[in-house]
Structure 1
């Protein structure tokens, strides 16, 4: 192999990796935009915007397919090792998690189409705050990827616990509203699903952050992932004497919120 041929191969490989990275970054921006638009459609009761979010979902799916096809092609033709191999493996994982972030944003938009036809309960006001935090985490996650910043990835990894805590608080508040006013059950249920979708977006962003850390350092993050979601332990109690509801985190009367 001549030096010129070798140089051409290296340059072509670098261009393939660059295109892969750009596509991943584009997916991240699209997922972040979908979440922002889905929440805007809910807050502003804009069903047309919600419909556009739903109809745009195939675009993100297509980009995921492009990443997978490009990654397979590079693996087959280039047989990368070390850092280059981590690039390809990470691209597979990040593309999958990003596509799922988009799916959860679409789910919120679908719920918005239903919620826009009814009056949401008072706990609705907490949902946009939770979404803004999730949006900032998504943005910082893909900034960490673009910048190859392991420290920023670790920061995202820790911040997901705050999304979980907000979800737990909102979950309990919505339960209380629905128990006090059965007329709010339908809207409250839709909002619960919206909140859960946002919480899952936070989890997926954490997945991406872990992959970014691995990509940059070649090592895995140590320790258990921080979690603040305790809704799995929440027990609903109906206080018949007052006609109002109450919620516990462990069924034993100990309120940990």
Structure 2
């Protein structure tokens, strides 16, 4: 079965953890929880807006993790944040205490992974269409949990079509790792999700989810969108 990981910015609205349960009920396999940050360098306008809104509410990494510690949704939770938060002393312990089992740090270079102290948490690495073959192979070897295939050279955000580079990158990664390859950045519709998953092992959907939350959709409504993604992925044949 193809994997589906929707994204949410932690603390985006009061009672935001209700969306986690809605995602799980809709068929998500994992959930990416973004820790809001003032300078999200790889994120486009939608996730930037979400981070700003969460920060304006007084959200902090500690408050997001505290909310997660009191929430059990039955599927893995993967935190995403930036290096200057992830490299702080005690961050790994805080993740574990919150029940987080995975981590994405998009601005942490492969060469600086040794500075990341998160025992018991799987660190999934990112690869882009411009990643050279030798470095791609090293990413495949050193990633944990899955490899995040960045579909385009750009920031996150909704797009009207799947970039051809997404399929090419997924195929390259499948040659160098046995881990699941998940395509993200720009997956905006069920049709795009199915197209990406035909070449990869699943998809990550962020801006399209957050746009709905920012526009006022409730957990059931956003869960319906996640369910449509799940339905689109279900009939896709396994990668061979």
Alignment TM-score, normalising by the size of structure 1? 0.29
Q: Which has the larger radius of gyration?
A: 1
- TM-score of the aligned structures, taking structure 2 as reference length: 0.31
| More helix as a share of residues | 1
Bigger strand fraction: 2
